[in-house]
Amino acid sequence: MKRLFPFAPVLAAGVLAVVLVLLSGNVIIAKKVIAHLILPAGFLWLAGFGLLFARGLKKFAWIGLVAAWLLYSFAGSPYAGVALLRILEEPYYVHEQPSEKLDALVLLGGGTGLSPGGRPALGTHGDRLTRPAILFHEGLVGTLITTGRSITEAGEDRLLSRETSLIWQSLKVPAEVIIEVPEPRNTSEELAAVAELLGSHPEWKRVGLSSSASHLSRALKEATSQGLDLIPVPSDFRSGDLIFSPLYLVPQGRGFRDVQTALWEFLGRAG
């Protein structure tokens, strides 16, 4: 047995990998589990688990490794991401579809990307853009208002409001029902600009605010601080139930993205 001690980390990691594969239930899921385990996020997780069985570790060093491995497991867990996002999104499940027609709908900037040729395209949060267009075609929205510019990707000359407007028009939304508000750079500035715009349109009685469902709580709080009483119109829900699968026990990009998104919103609430 002593001869095996130097190989204990490798054996432990191997046993964990085999267990996950055997729990997969079918070949397709098993292949996906293997793929995630050899990709960087999964490989580091597997290697970290193996290190817990290394010889010669002091007690406090071992405790630190266990804590780091558990924290990493949580940070990359799709289950943790969904659970955290559900806290933010669940209050807005009932608001997915407006009960009455909105005179105007404000969409906060974000959700667009750029193609290699510089053409506006749907980004990771593209549902934020398509949802208002769908509501317009369903006759539930009169005027669409798009806001914002990017300050983190291609500089301040990248107008998210313009990109959104062009995508809406490609979805057969008439240009004359779209208002672009390109100056704001963050949620606070966006809603300050919206407050100014609404002041010049007293005929708009029912005005909605659309964004990712996880962001709406913080956005509505900011709207209230600007003296606005806006109707929540959520989109981009990411808190749907996940089946139990060993695939989702392996830390992965989806988990890191969702956990970070949720924690970012909680941090914003506290600020």
Give the global pTM. Answer: 0.88
Average pLDDT over residues 137-148: 94
Burial readout 7-40 (b: 16 or more C-beta within 10 A, e: otherwise): ebbeebbeebbeebbeebeeeebbebbbebbeee
Check residue 153 and give its pLDDT: 61
pLDDT, tens digit (0-9, with 9 covering 90-100), for 26-67: 999 999 999 999 999 999 999 999 999 988 889 999 999 999
**Measured in whole angstroms, how far is the alpha carbon of residue 2 from the centre of its chain?**
48
| Domains along the chain with CATH numbers | 2-87+249-270 (no CATH), 97-235 (3.40.50.620)
DSSP letter (8 states) at residue 249 = G
Lowest mean pLDDT among 84-88, 144-148, 152-156, 225-229: 152-156
Residue bearing the bigger pLDDT, 113 or 134:
134
